[in-house]
Chains A and B, each alone.
Chain A
């Protein structure tokens, strides 16, 4: 129902730059997740789409129309706030009905619409209560119902699951995705949780310091990171980054040498390798280190290895056992290595 385009959007407060030159096109019915550390400008960008914040520069375009001058009220955008922002003086029923009343939907339809929205989020039993008498999860669902009740053009959600406990969060995540598929409404979702981003998104927009670092499907973001920030941010535990020197197709760092690379030139570089692409062998490997820690999680075991000053995380299988401080040999999957420029952090290809 709606396509959103951000053209060179930026936001400054005095000299402080909150969001810098963001360019992004979100296609109709797409589920886009803004992912980044706290304070990177995700909320600000979303608020500019909603019209709650005026951009300092650039244009917000919805369905081909520049909406910079259009009031938040008239953009037909629904938002779920991190704090839920339910109206404390109204019952849940009245909360969900509020958008219908304000948008002059004929009164006869209200009861049925509210009922349907409440059922969609499984909240039917609590309609007569006030927000103060609900748990975090129920409030979150009430806020969601209030957003879906009027079938908006665009959905905006600002960390809607961050106040829930881990188990509820997983359950709500599945529901949310199902709901969005069902309603087919263009959705922008903000989170700092990479698991949420990976599982929910059609496309992820990774932000840092007010700038977009990479845009791509979860698969692309994980398998093809554009720079060291993305590489280090995505994955749990994140990618190992080892500083070294690249020359004539050979990468070398203390205790480590990888040959036969298709990279030209001579420069300082960073090698990136994911924990699951490292293997502990008995025989010779690329790297030698001492076992620093072993963390079994049940289905797998994470091993951290110290080589010189660097700590390297490795995913081993569930039965891995070894005494601490013993020496281990590591080998890498050579076709799963990533190289980045040491100064700019950009990927070398």
Chain B
């Protein structure tokens, strides 16, 4: 026993000098060389455009050249009613759909997580997320507006007597965006919440049961507070995504009626690629970036500090 260990150590010692032949400098640099291509690629498509946009936001960009403008773009933005409207629209549409999808997903998760069938087949609920977003948006556009499928259905059931004008009325148009987003993303939250609930200690639930708690009471007093970190992560992920909501707006409403469904992303797109005011669009992007970072930070701190037992 002792003999073999000694032999093994001897072999290791003999092998050591061969490994040491690479110089210390090489040994330090080598790992970085290995990850360099990926890092360069990632920085190239994220950091570079970001820095470029921030730099560009201090210029008035025309086809003939860049004219330095200081913080002029930002000053203009803060006085631009359309920008404020876009900010407000994003907040309203995003806020309502995020609240709705969270509430619906939590409720479904609460009813479903003890069901063995859902444990086994929860991957199926990911389906709506797997469809191409633009295709989904087109289908909703068809259902609400062009094809009037929804109006038609409602008329046949007798709930309404004439076609609903989904594009013409402010809240109808916003509603279509909310419905589309809720449909596509509730399952994602549902899965996260089901996983969170299933990961909880079953004995705690049983103890509460014996203490006389009903299922809703258990959910409200125990499961939900314990789920705080999970909910926080889900809300932050979805929140960032919703803040940059673009595809549905671009395909379904294009900001109509009267810009009341124009989100910030769409505002930036319109300013940059329709009005070709790149400096101005860059400034708006920079503001949005800062806003998302601040909100995410605040949420993270709030939920995780107090979430700790």
A-to-B contact residues, CB < 8 Å: 50, 52, 72-73, 75, 77-79, 81, 83, 85-90, 98-99, 102-103, 130-132, 146
A73 touches B225 (CB 8 A): no
* Assembled-state Cα–Cα distance A85/B222 (Å): 12
Q: Count A/B pairs, Cβ under 8 Å.
A: 63
A73 touches B203 (CB 8 A): no
B-to-A contact residues, CB < 8 Å: 201, 203-204, 206-214, 217, 221-222, 225-226, 309
* Assembled-state Cα–Cα distance A78/B206 (Å): 11
Q: Interface residues of B: mostly helix, strand, loop or mixed?
A: helix
A79 touches B309 (CB 8 A): no
B214 touches A73 (CB 8 A): yes
Partner of B210, one of A78, A83, A130, A132: A78
A73 touches B209 (CB 8 A): yes
Q: How far is the CB of A55 from chain B (nearest CB, A)?
A: 17
A85 touches B203 (CB 8 A): yes
Partner of B212, one of A86, A89, A103: A103
- For this complex, 12 residue pairs linking A to B, each with C-beta atoms less than 8 Å apart, are A72-B206, A73-B209, A73-B212, A81-B206, A83-B201, A87-B208, A90-B221, A99-B211, A99-B212, A102-B212, A146-B207, A146-B211
- In the complex where A73-B212, A98-B213 touch, is A131 in contact with B309 (Cβ < 8 A)? yes
Q: How far is the CB of B130 from chain A (nearest CB, A)?
A: 35
A83 touches B209 (CB 8 A): no
Nearest to A72 among chain B residues (CB) is B209
B213 touches A102 (CB 8 A): yes
* Assembled-state Cα–Cα distance A77/B22 (Å): 70
Query: A72: which B residues are within 8 A, CB to CB?
Result: 206, 209-210
B210 touches A79 (CB 8 A): yes
* Assembled-state Cα–Cα distance A321/B208 (Å): 57
A88 touches B226 (CB 8 A): yes
A98 touches B309 (CB 8 A): no
Nearest to A74 among chain B residues (CB) is B212
Q: How far is the CB of B302 from chain A (nearest CB, A)?
A: 16
B222 touches A89 (CB 8 A): yes
Partner of B211, one of A83, A88, A98, A131: A98
* Assembled-state Cα–Cα distance A90/B222 (Å): 9
- In the complex where A87-B208, A89-B222, A130-B309 touch, is A81 in contact with B213 (Cβ < 8 A)? no
